[in-house]
Amino acid sequence: MGAGHIGLPTACVIADSGFQVVAADINEKLVDAVKKGRSIITENCLEDLVSKVVKAKKLTATTDVTSATKDSDVVLIIVPTPLGTAGPDLNAIKSAAKAVARGLRRGMLVVLESTIYPEGTKKILQPILEENSGLRAGEDFYLAYSPERALPTRSIEEIRTNVRIVGGINEISGKKAKEFYGKFVASEVLDVGDSTTAEFVKISENVYRDVNIALANELAMIAEKLGVDIQKVIDAANRHPRVKIHVPGAGVGGHCIPKDPYFFINKAQELGLNVRLIKTAREINESMPEHVVELAENALEKGGKTPADSKIAILGYAYKGDTSDIRGTPAERIVGELKALGFKVCIHDPFVNYSNGTAIEKDMEQVVSGSDCIVVVTDHSQYRNINISELAKKMRKPGIVIDGRNIFDPVSIRKAGLAYYGIGR
Ligand code: SAJ
């Protein structure tokens, strides 16, 4: 249930391992594309795999979740839990659960893969399934949690090869889930003993990343003031066998890392706890787009430019390199704030075609030509190979580079006659 960014690659991997799979989704466009052996989800190798398993008649698609459930032995719920005003929004899980419950039969296994609050499988999902089916979880049907942990751009490979975490609402449910995932996961399937622990694992992983990126960003702020290059510091510090400092940058985007900390923040509040570190990390990372705007604004002012006579070229709109995914991208805020300040902004991205009414160009030369300032927002591979001296020729004086992903060598940029500002360098 749910044939989106993770659901569809998962359906394909399972179908490719020999199971008969039906991808059920409320989005007709998505379902129609799958029926034709195509994908409207962009993910490496996905198009080919959808086509292969549909041709082999191993994967079909439907918008009728209840009948898809009736025809199945295992149901995986893989729907989004986007950040709403009061925290992560669980409505998709709840409505999927109702539709699944109406098709539930004895002996089936239901697994939730979407990120949810700790205790969510037992306290949110289980009652909906039981009330709408009249069956008892853990007795009449089995219920487990197994977080999807695949990195967008490498989803197919990671669904197949990452260690798979499972936890049941009772022992037999965990055992059934482990047995199922063991049929197509190439590495270990780790039963952590219960669904709440499995939920906790998933949120912890993304919080770990958020807090570590925030630390890198905070160190970068100190380095910037001291005139120290944070990348030199990180490269040297990471030679220590027990240190792994993350990469400071223009902001943390995507649909997981900026949202998942709120599962802990809200749950902790309910438990009477104040999780200061997790909240502060969010604040630091959320402030980074604004910092990038300030760097550009200050550098242009120093160069004697006003917003009215400045053109800014944004390189990259996606939330991370080499993807067209713009969910939660820091670029949206950077562009919005620069425009609000009165700057003329042009955007280049090799993969992204649109953004809320703003044209995104594919021709980098056109975007960069005549600009006073370049702001790198996304670390697309192609930007790392830019010919700096050619770039300098196309820009207007004074020529400023704001490197929001620390992908350039400051020395070569300055040698080319451009001013360089990175995050912490
Ligand atoms: N970023 C930094 N500095 C870093 C690393 C990343 O600023 O050192 C930024 C990136 O530019 C990007 C954002 O963070 O804007 C997130 O990118 P990401 O590649 O780190 O993570 P996601 O959101 O694409 O995928 C994460 C993954 N989680 C972990 O690595 C712990 C993935 O495995 C999960 O499946 C996914 O979240 C999810 O669905 O939860």
Ligand 1 atom with least separation from CA of 260: 40
CA of 252 to the centre of ligand 1 (A): 8
CB 261, CB 282: distance < 8 Å = yes
* Residue 84 confidence (pLDDT): 92
- Locus of tokens 């053109």: 311
Can you tell me the mean pLDDT for 66-91? 95
* Average pLDDT for the chain: 96
- Nearest to residue 211, comparing CAs of 165, 265, 272, 159? 265
What ranges in 182-249 are assigned the alpha helix state H?
195-226, 230-237
For residue 217, give the 3-state DSSP assignment: helix
Percent of residues, the chain, with pLDDT higher than 70: 100
Q: At what angle do helices 276-302 and 195-226 cross, to 10 degrees?
A: 30
User: How much is the pLDDT for 197?
Assistant: 98
Token pair in block for residue 328: 């939660």
Say what the pLDDT of residue 174 is: 98
**Across residues 265-282, what is the average pLDDT?**
97
- What pLDDT does 353 receive? 87
For residue 264, pLDDT over 90 is answered with yes
398 preceded by a cis bond (ω within 30 of 0): yes
Q: Is 12 a catalytic residue?
A: no
CB 10 within 8 A of CB 3: no
| Known catalytic membership, residue 256 | yes
The pLDDT value given to residue 385? 93
Range scoring the smallest mean pLDDT among 155-169, 199-213, 387-401? 387-401
CA distance from start to end of the chain: 46
For ligand 1, mutation pick of 116, 159, 203, 252 (most atoms within 8 Å of CB):
252
**CA-atom Rg of the chain in angstroms:** 24
Q: Which amino acid is at 111?
A: V
- 50's tokens: 């959808």
Choosing from 112, 213, 257, 291 the residue with most ligand 1 atoms within 8 A of its CB, the one to mutate for a pocket test is 257
What is the pLDDT confidence band of residue 111, given thresholds at 50, 70 and 90? very high
Q: What is the dihedral of CA 70, 76, 78, 79, to 10 degrees?
A: 30
Q: Reply yes or no on whether the pLDDT at 299 is more than 90.
A: yes
Amino acid at 289: P
Task: Provide the token pair at 310.
Answer: 């400045």
Comparing 355 with 13, which gets the higher pLDDT? 13
Q: Which two tokens stand for residue 394?
A: 């196309």
- Judged against a pLDDT cut of 80, whether residue 267 lies above it is answered with yes
Q: How far apart are CA 92 and CA 24, in angstroms?
A: 13
- Average pLDDT on 29-45 reads 95
Q: Exposed, middle or buried: residue 87 (CB in 10 Å: 0-12, 13-18, 19+)?
A: middle
Name the 3-class secondary structure at 178: helix
Reading the block at residue 119, the tokens are: 């205790």
Beta-sheet pairing, 400-403 with 419-422? parallel
Residue 319 DSSP symbol: S
Q: Could you tell me which residues are beta bridge partners of residue 59?
A: 21
Asked if 147 contacts 177 with a C-beta cutoff of 8 angstroms, the reply is no
Work out the average pLDDT over 152-158: 95
pLDDT, tens only, 357-376: 778 999 999 999 999 999 99
Q: Is the pLDDT of residue 270 over 80?
A: yes
Provide the pLDDT confidence category of residue 398 given band limits of 50, 70 and 90.
Answer: confident
Pocket test for ligand 1, best of 146, 151, 326 (most atoms within 8 A of CB): 151
The closest-lying atom of ligand 1 relative to the alpha carbon of residue 208 is 31
- Which residue's alpha carbon is nearest to atom 28 within ligand 1? 206
Phi-psi region of 4 (alpha: psi -120 to 50; beta: other; left: phi over 0): beta
CA-to-CA dists, residue 282 to 117, 254, 314, 385, 405, angstroms: 18, 14, 24, 32, 18
Q: What is the pLDDT of residue 124?
A: 98
pLDDT at 358 (0 to 100): 76
Contacts for 255 with CB less than 8 Å, ≥ 6 apart: 5, 80, 82, 327, 328
Active-site residue identified among 256, 267, 346, 373: 256
- Mean pLDDT, range 293-301, rounded to an integer: 98
Residue 166 pairs with which residues in a beta bridge? 191
| Separation between Cα atoms, residue 92 and residue 75, nearest integer Å | 15
Q: Ligand 1, atom 32: nearest CA belongs to which residue?
A: 151
> 78: closest CA among 13, 133, 33?
13
Query: How many Cα atoms sit within 13 Å of 44 on the Cβ side?
Result: 13
Structure-block tokens of residue 280 = 């502060």
**pLDDT tens string 350-361:** 999 877 777 899
Query: What is the DSSP secondary-structure string of 80-95?
Result: ---EETTEE--HHHHH
The CB density around residue 362, as the number of other CB atoms within 10 Å, is 12
Which pLDDT score is estimated for 82?
Answer: 93
